[in-house]
Structure 1
Amino acid sequence: MTSPVRTGQAQTMGRQEFGERFRQRFVDPAYDAERDALVRLEQIAWEAFDEGRKAPITVKAGASFADPDYDLSREWRDLHLRLKDAQAAWADPATPARVLIINASPRNDGTCPGEMSKTWRMTQIARTACEAEGMTVDVLDLSRVTSDYDRHIHPCKGCVSTAMPLCHWPCSCYPNHASGQTNDWMAEIYEQWVRAHGVLLLTPVHWYQVTSPLKLMMDRLVCADGGNPDPTTTQGKKAELARELELKGWDYPKHLAGRVYGVVVHGDVAGIEGTRRALSDWLDWMGLLDAGFGARLDRYIGYYEPYATSHDALDADTDVQDEVKRAARAVALSVGLMRSGRMKHGDESLPKPRTK
């Protein structure tokens, strides 16, 4: 017998509140000429919300799924197929070695701060170093979530905490067209992670923690660590079925295992060591391989100095610049070792006493 599913927390939204929320996107007087059209669009949006039309366009799952006749979200199915292709490319020795460099600072000169971040500058240093080692480099600039139009990393909904098989790989919580939760950047980000042989993550410290965009991405990567690649086994989001699956014995597949990682954390007064340890622990847990001590870097830039001169502090700190280059090179060289089968941890061949 499975544990009962507890309900009663969710709140409903009425037609009036929905309308007020919908119209907030169109306060610019430039929309005034189209108010009648917006009224009609609002009614369509309300009906989609009220009826819960999360995935209005579906396709039959097909023979590769447990229930071939299940109506899968076409968007999820298409992403699922792209990730399968990306994983095949990752495993193919003939594909070029690829490193994903992630700038986790939300600051850029196209939004309120009006200036690029130090992390962005270090990202460029790292990119040059990786390319010098023969790597194909992709750069993921998470600051775009603060400056691009309608670009989102929607928050994790915590499906794992109900039952691991309810968390699908890739995440099927978004897009939710009924709730207007669309333009989810994670669809692209999953593909970048899967294609990468190595990942180098650079972040400043915000209040003793990683930045908001980075934490959003981290939480949404939970499906890569134990996630269910077949939503038909839970008939979408049926909690009871997911619990039954987990209690029968779930193997918690690690969909990103085997990639190499490095971490660069910087701050101005506090929090760099704890943040670096948390990021390293997270990546270790997902089955990634660290590229060595020099690739797990935490440094202060302009310690207790004004924010107004922090770029000058980075200019002057050539040692930090060289350490970032070294961390990037360590990731690139470790990718070569991993792909040739020469990079292994001592516990790889040992049985795990427990999963999760």
Structure 2
Amino acid sequence: MDEPPQSQQKTVPTPGEIARDVRRRQADPSLDREAFRDRFRAMFDDPAFEKDTDAFTRFEAIAWDGFNAYRKSPRTAKAGPEFADPEYDLSTEWRATRDALIEIGRRQCDPSTPRRILLVCASPRSEHTCPGESSKTWRLLEAVRDVVRDAGVEVDVLELNRLTSEYGKRIFPCKGCVSTAMPLCHWPCSCYPNHAMAQAPDWMAEIYQLWTAAHGVVIVTPVHWNQVPTVLKLMMDRLVCADGGNPDPTRTHGKDPQRAKQLELDGWDYPKHLAGRAYGVVVHGDTEGTKNVRHALCDWLGAMELVDAGATSQLDRYIGYYEPYATSHRALDADEAMIEEARNVARAVVTRVMQLRDGIDEADTGLPQPRMK
């Protein structure tokens, strides 16, 4: 068969050519000096700041200089011999988080270290902010916590409602580096803090440490519009770096997309930084969506190679189904079976954590059920 004319022949791009194929088409979000001043001052609209306008103006000028020069990481030091590029100027903030994770991970893997379970309260509600009362999520988490403590297992509690009730507490959104190339996503995340963009401080540095220290994790969450709440989704997205993330930012010289694409095409090992921890979930709602949220959470945790603690460890239930919100706490008071089912989630995860410690590769399924169907 005759070959088509050379002008019509398609050439196969080399890996290097693909790596150089970085698409850039979106609008530039930069601000000019006047727009920056308005944006900066909008963050400090309290008239009290007007009492010292000279000091305020000086600080705004410093912030502008950091933004204009893009001092994302103003404190850096040479990476040193343990990194691929020892001369790369590495963020000291990132380095401190990374060093802490290495030490915490070493202790977590030590057989003599006491077992530890992380409990995540995924509701944004708190009596310390607009709702004016504690959440049902928190009440269920208390039941889970009591079981874990009674079993002699150490407990860390992560209250994501601190994002809504605590000054300056933030989880910034994932920037989607993975979709450029997996090595561009660093473990731990190096996108934040970004001091040039006023994207600091970032709570995830502490949250990575809690997940790394844990031998098991239980997430207790409500349903918001058939999905997980915003506070939980923020954390989930920022944990993407635990699933294949690059532990050496010098290999990509920070955020160089061409280097990252080439690394992935050369062969990437997709390290699972949280694999092997047991998990359980408690999902509650009032009219719809509990099963979808439970499936989404379990699929996510399983994709990171956390370990299923058995059917009893995955619970979704309705509280006060189609009843008034105003009486929902009373509905939970009356649903003793659900509270016991939440305790069973904790028991299953505790059992699985101990099985994993002892090298047993099967989840417990023999817990008594408070109600059958």
TM-score bracket, shorter-length normalisation: over 0.9
Equivalent residue number for residue 85 of structure 2? 67
Equivalent residue number for residue 56 of structure 1? 74
**Rounded Cα–Cα distance in structure 1 between residues aligned with 2:76 and 2:189:** 16
Equivalent residue number for residue 19 of structure 1? 37
Cα shift at 1:343? 2.4
Structure 1 range deviating more: 24-33 or 255-264? 24-33
Query: Considering only CA atoms, is the larger Rg found in Structure 1 or Structure 2?
Result: 2
Cα shift at 1:92? 0.3
Query: With structure 1 as the length reference, what TM-score do the two structures score?
Result: 0.96
Equivalent residue number for residue 121 of structure 1? 139
Equivalent residue number for residue 265 of structure 1? 283
SS in structure 1 opposite 2:236?
helix
Residue type at the aligned position of 1:296: Q
1:1-356 matches, cutoff 5 A: 1-3=17-19, 4-9=21-26, 10-343=28-361
Cα shift at 1:48? 0.5
Would you identify which runs of 4 or more consecutive aligned residues in structure 1 move more than 6 Å? none
- Alpha carbons 1:227, 1:252 under 8 Å: kept: yes
SS in structure 2 opposite 1:26?
coil
**Rounded Cα–Cα distance in structure 2 between residues aligned with 1:126 and 1:314:** 15
SS in structure 2 opposite 1:2?
helix
Structure 1 range deviating more: 227-236 or 32-41? 32-41
**Rounded Cα–Cα distance in structure 2 between residues aligned with 1:281 and 1:173:** 25
Query: With structure 2 as the length reference, what TM-score do the two structures score?
Result: 0.91
Q: Deviations over 1:204-258 (max 9, x none)?
A: 0000000000000000000000000000000000000000000001111100000
- Alpha carbons 1:126, 1:328 under 8 Å: kept: yes
Cα shift at 1:168? 0.1
Cα shift at 1:27? 1.5
**Rounded Cα–Cα distance in structure 2 between residues aligned with 1:212 and 1:282:** 16
Percent identity of equivalent pairs: 58
Structure 2 residue ranges without an equivalent (≥5): 1-16, 364-373
Aligned residues: 345
SS in structure 2 opposite 1:88?
helix
**Rounded Cα–Cα distance in structure 2 between residues aligned with 1:64 and 1:315:** 55
Structure 1 residue ranges without an equivalent (≥5): 346-356
Cα shift at 1:344? 5.3
Cα shift at 1:176? 0.2
- Alpha carbons 1:265, 1:275 under 8 Å: kept: yes
**Rounded Cα–Cα distance in structure 2 between residues aligned with 1:5 and 1:289:** 37
**Rounded Cα–Cα distance in structure 2 between residues aligned with 1:91 and 1:190:** 16
Cα shift at 1:14? 1.1
- Alpha carbons 1:133, 1:333 under 8 Å: kept: no
